[in-house]
Amino acid sequence: MTHTHNPVYCALDTTDTAEAVRLAKMLIGHVGGLKVGLEYYCANGTDGFKRIAETGMPIFLDLKFHDIPNTVAGAIRAVAPLGPKILTIHTQGGPEMMRRAADTAAEQAEKHGLTKPWVVGVTILTSLDDSDLKAIGVADKVADQVARLAALGASSGLDGMVCSPLEIALARRATHKDFKLVVPGIRPAGSAVGDQKRVMTPKEALTAGADVLVIGRPITQAKDPQEAANLIAASLL
């Protein structure tokens, strides 16, 4: 399976550059892309990003920007030249912030001769439940708030959103057929769930309508990460 058709992005959640580069090289051609998040990026910055990008794999830069529109636009200008395939922002930053983020990503891609990254929105983090929303003054249930923020993201120019496997159907209903659904909380049958609460297998999530499957530990902590990635890819056929 070539990586252009493999929907799996492996999350490299470590601060250790050598370990991330070792895993990234090992996974070339076995996953569709790699995810670099706050942990790796805060420790290693743009040079660390470039070390991973040298693999030639598409990269999901998951920094979940959440600030005023001008600052988020500035952050996107700063990372756009790195050429990530996917960028994340928080939908709770509101419509103007999302619009500026989408417009800035498009402008910068054109300026640098790069493919425009997908700007995808985080709605309600999977670590929050209804009682957490109540604590921050949101009376609605998680599902209603996810649907509201998803629709707002789609109407504010985002390319897609991050959602849990159990939110795929709801997210699709609230948006449109081309909205990219980037889905963590994926566990191959028989692998440890760890701290993820609501999980599906890769095949179930793909069938439900996920566009990208974000998978970390089931690959990175496997005895043989390459074999684990191959088994996941095979399970999707």
Interface residues with ligand OMP (CB under 6 A) are: 11, 13, 35, 37, 62, 88, 122, 125-126, 162, 184-185, 194, 196, 214-218
- CA–CA dist 171, 155 (Å, integer): 13
Q: Is 197 annotated as a binding residue?
A: no
Q: In angstroms, what is the minimal distance from the CB of 165 to ligand OMP?
A: 10
Any known ligand binding at 198? no
The one catalytic residue among 25, 50, 64, 177: 64
**Minimum CB–partner distance for residue 2 and ligand OMP (Å):** 23
Adjacent-strand bridge partners of 36: 61
Q: Which is nearer to ligand OMP, 104 or 123 (CB)?
A: 123
Of 31 and 215, which has the nearer Cβ to ligand OMP?
A: 215
CB burial class (10 A; 0-12, 13-18, 19+) of residue 137?
A: exposed
Query: Is 55 or 126 the residue whose CB approaches ligand OMP more closely?
Result: 126
Q: How far is the CB of 68 from ligand OMP (least distance, A)?
A: 21
Inter-residue contact 70 to 45 (CB < 8 Å): no
Q: At what angle do helices 69-79 and 95-112 cross, to 10 degrees?
A: 30
Query: Binding site annotation covers 23?
Result: no
**How far, rounded to the nearest angstrom, does the alpha carbon of residue 180 sit from its chain's CA centroid?**
10
Per the annotation, does 13 bind a ligand? yes
- Closest-by-Cβ residue to ligand OMP is 216
CB atoms within 10 A of CB 227: 12
For strand 180-183 and strand 212-215, is the pairing parallel, antiparallel, or unpaired? Answer: parallel
Q: Does residue 217 have a known ligand-binding role?
A: yes
Of residues 11 and 72, the one with the C-beta less far from ligand OMP: 11
SS3 for 193-224 is: CCCCCCCECHHHHHHHCCCEEEECHHHHCCCC
Answer yes or no: 223 catalytic: no
Beta carbon of residue 39, minimum distance to ligand OMP (angstroms, whole number): 8
Query: Nearest-5° angle of CA 229, CA 234, CA 235?
Result: 100
Residue numbers belonging to the annotated binding site: 13, 35, 62-71, 126, 187, 196, 216-217
Residue numbers belonging to the annotated binding site for substrate: 13, 35, 62-71, 126, 187, 196, 216-217
Residues marked active site are found at 64
